[in-house]
Amino acid sequence: MNELYKEFFPKPIFMSSPHLPNYLRANRKRLSLSQDEVAYLLGANSGAKVCRYERFNREPSFHTALAYEAVFGRPGSELFGELYQKIQREVAKRAAKLARKLEKRKLDKRTARKRAALSAIVASQSKN
């Protein structure tokens, strides 16, 4: 990794509890980019869309979230911390429900593997 890359894209800092719904503005400012410049990089027509994302008025599409990752060199789970944690909680609840359903099944290799995977999903949420 070259030094310029390291300067602009340092190792991510993972937050256990986000203070903001997203960290788009902070990352844009870190790179000294304007909203119009970020919009151009995202393939959008104007900075107004970037402003709506930064102000939490709009959730980005999957394509836009990946583009933000590419621009800022940060994972989407970090850039959109609050949304990620909300989704993670929802997935953990569904995993727990599915795990309870699997308790009724005969324990074979495949079911044991499923139960382990679902337990890991539930456990990862309880750490946050």
Q: Using one digit for the tens of pLDDT, what is the confidence trace for 6-27?
A: 555 565 544 444 467 889 999 9
Residues 58-73: tens digit of each pLDDT: 889 999 999 999 999 9
For residues 127 and 9, give the distance between their C-alpha atoms in angstroms, rounded to a whole number: 27
* pLDDT attached to residue 105: 83
List C-alpha distances in Å: 54 to 8, 35, 93, 101: 20, 9, 29, 40
Report which of residues 57 and 15 the model is more confident about.
57
DSSP label of 105: S
Residues of the chain with pLDDT > 90: what percent? 69
Helix axes 62-72, 35-42, angle to 10 degrees: 120
Q: Which tens digits make up the pLDDT trace of 73-98?
A: 999 999 999 889 999 999 999 999 99
pLDDT at 11: 56
Is residue 43 exposed (0-12), middle (13-18) or buried (19+ Cβ within 10 Å)? exposed
pTM for this prediction = 0.75
81: nearest Cα among 125, 9, 17: 17
Residue 21's pLDDT is what? 83
What does pLDDT average to over the chain? 86
pLDDT exceeds 90 at position 126: no
CB 76 within 8 A of CB 84: yes
